Chains A and B, each alone.
Chain A
Amino acid sequence: MEEANVKSEIRNSSSEIVFDNVSKFYGEILGVNRVSLQIAPGITSLVGPNGAGKSTLMNLMTGLLRPSRGTIKVLGIPTDQPEPLFRKLGYCTQFDSFPRGVTGKEFIKSFLLVHGFDRKKADELTLTALERVSLVDAANRKVAAYSKGMRQRIRLAQAIAHQPAVLILDEPLNGLDPMVRAETIALFRKLAAEGLHLIISSHILHEVDMMSDRVILLNNGYVVAEGKVHGVRDEMEDRALQILIRCDKPARLAARVFDKDHVVEARLHDDKLGLFVRTRDADGFYLLLNQVVAEGEINIESVAPVDDDLSAVYQYLIGSEGNSA
């Protein structure tokens, strides 16, 4: 039984990204502190304000930085072994810089040759990567003449060109117009569906919310919370959950629910066709609503939690506006 557990642990650690009590200090300044994480395949987002430690965590994961303490393994490979590591890992950094004078195609192909691919294979992989980011038409133009969005996409293409199993993306949606943004998110979803690890940092919380399987919330170098967005919200049991009830008689509903101990706030919606209720006992509140529906006095159209999204979670945990992160 014990042997089975050990085997299972080994199997898991070789398919996950594992941070074991990792700290990084820049002299006296804290980068990240005592981070222990296990990141499974799928899309994981790193969220936090500037200086929270998102890029530090990504740079540690890719060996661009070395931990001051602790160990990191990506699919079982220590991050100080570039040869095996970067066959499995692609990293699209937030540095908006390129080797001078290269075209988009040359940029991708030249680093595939550095990987050790032969020219034919490098050409093949370059074309595939360019197709994935819809930059085939601009492939022979100099990168210096690209728009910001195109530069972002060509860096993404370079990161995925060697077909890695783990893709790390630092602010990958920056500078993209809405159309390309939607296409890029769709591409991320497709890659995740193919079994890739995607680690994404972003400031745009509703997009993180839309595309992430799980989030890691960082603040001041510490992991504040991690898990599924809704799961993280559930962990905050002491926090009241806000629910919007759309109904024809919100004032009457307010009078009905307000005498319950777990209801801490009831507020009419501006259009007078809904009621915001803040409760400490979501299950108890839903039971009450069932009773109200059964009584038939108030016609309830819809019930939805309104602060179960990432922005609200972020605001609760970090104490600042998520959108300003």
Chain B
Amino acid sequence: MSSSTVDITPSKNIGKAPLPWSLWFRQIRAIFRLETEKNFLGRRSILLYLLALLPIIPLVLLAPFTPPGREWHDFTQYNMIFAVFYGGFILRTVVFFGCAWIFMNLFRGDIVDRSLHFYFLSPVRRQVLVIGKYFSGLVTAIILFTATTVICMLLIYLPHFPSESSRFFFDGPGMGQLLTYASVTILACIGYGAFFLVVGLFVRNPIVPAIVLYVWEWLNFLMPPLLKKISVIHYLNSLVPVPVSEGPFAVVAEPTPAWIAVPSLIIVTALVLILASYRIRHMEIRYGNE
């Protein structure tokens, strides 16, 4: 049996060989496929589906009735109803804990299942493994939670004021708001995803740091402007189309403009992924001690 080789992009430069991008791309695709299948069809995905359905179920139940409360009878209040529902429930709870579950399990789940060594015994650069796994988690989170966001928005508007809602979405600002909320959800998945991926690599029991971050994000409105910036929710709140009042005790800070908020989140995510790559490069497999 001879040692077999994998086709790597041929070297055209004499001296320094070019980086094997095509091989890395194939490897990322293979890892992505394996992991995405696990994310959607694995035993752990049940909790994820329940979480994604959590905000949809009450809205489905409420759809045939107009709930009590003056605001539900006034169509102009609906953008605020959804803004509160989105910020307080979908973004801070569903997306947050959904990302925690998906991304912390990308490596931690394999360690618990004692199957991470199969990746470590493959000729894969560990950074490539981090990227493949992160993208699989990201796509899973984006598909589930943008779907939740869109369905919830439609379920709030359409059943109660069908004709006004259809004008709102097709002739008014509705479609723009819908796309903006979906984009904020995607950014939340990017930011929280990177954070929880790293937490899953460094901490044996990731529940504790998840709760600490959850409290930190909820208390963000009380923090001074400088501390506000050390959170994901501050940047996300700056991007939502309908700002929500944070109450009389809130410390008011200027929202970060989108041209700063979006690149900042992406840069921080990239830095966190570099940290994850460093950690995974130096990681040993000792399941007995996990």
Residues of chain A whose beta carbon lies under 8 Å from any beta carbon of chain B: 26, 59, 62-66, 82-91, 93, 95, 97-101, 110-111, 113-118, 125, 158, 160, 162-165, 191, 194-196
- A99 & B123 in contact (Cβ 8 Å cutoff): no
Asked whether, in the complex, the Cβ of B34 is within 8 Å of the Cβ of A114, the reply is yes
CB <8 Å contact, B31 and A116: no
Please report which residues of chain B, range 1-36, place their CB below 8 angstroms from some CB of chain A when the two chains form the complex.
Answer: 1-8, 23, 26-27, 30-31, 33-34
The interface residues of chain A lying within 8 Å CB-to-CB of B43 are 100
Residue of B nearest to A163 (CB): B4
Contact across chains for B121 and A88 when beta carbons are under 8 A apart: no
Residue on A nearest B2 in the bound complex, by CB: A163
B31-72 near A? 1/0 per residue, CB < 8 Å? 101100010011100000000000000000000000000000
B-side contacts of A158, CB under 8 Å? 118
Main secondary structure of the interface of B (DSSP, over half): loop
B287: interface (CB < 8 Å): yes
Give Cα A160–Cα B3 distance, bound, in whole angstroms: 10
Given the contacts A64-B284, A99-B115, A116 and B121 also touching, CB distance less than 8 Å: no
Query: Residue among B42, B43, B120, B282 with the most chain A CB within 10 A?
Result: B120
Q: How far is the CB of B212 from chain A (nearest CB, A)?
A: 27
Question: Is the CB–CB distance between B119 and A114 below 8 Å?
Answer: yes
25 examples of A-B residue contacts, CB within 8 angstroms: A26-B286, A26-B289, A65-B285, A82-B124, A82-B126, A86-B124, A98-B115, A99-B38, A100-B38, A100-B42, A100-B43, A101-B42, A111-B118, A113-B26, A114-B27, A114-B30, A114-B34, A114-B124, A116-B6, A116-B23, A116-B26, A116-B27, A118-B26, A125-B4, A191-B1
- Residues of B within 8 Å of A66, CB to CB, are 282, 284
Q: Is the CB of B118 within 8 A of A163?
A: no
- B167, CB-defined interface residue at 8 Å: no
Inter-chain contacts of A98 with B (CB < 8 A)? 115
Shortest CB distance A213–B (Å): 17
Query: B123 and A86: CB pair below 8 A?
Result: yes
Check A82–B41 contact: CB distance below 8 A: no
- Docked complex Cα distance between A62 and B2 (Å): 19
Q: Is the CB of A97 within 8 A of B114?
A: yes
Are A82 and B4 in contact, CB atoms less than 8 angstroms apart? no
B117 at the interface (CB under 8 A from A): yes
Q: Given A82-B124, A163-B3, 20 more contacts at CB 8 Å?
A: A64-B117, A82-B120, A85-B123, A86-B123, A89-B121, A98-B115, A99-B34, A99-B115, A99-B118, A100-B42, A100-B43, A101-B38, A111-B122, A113-B30, A114-B124, A116-B7, A116-B30, A158-B118, A160-B1, A196-B1
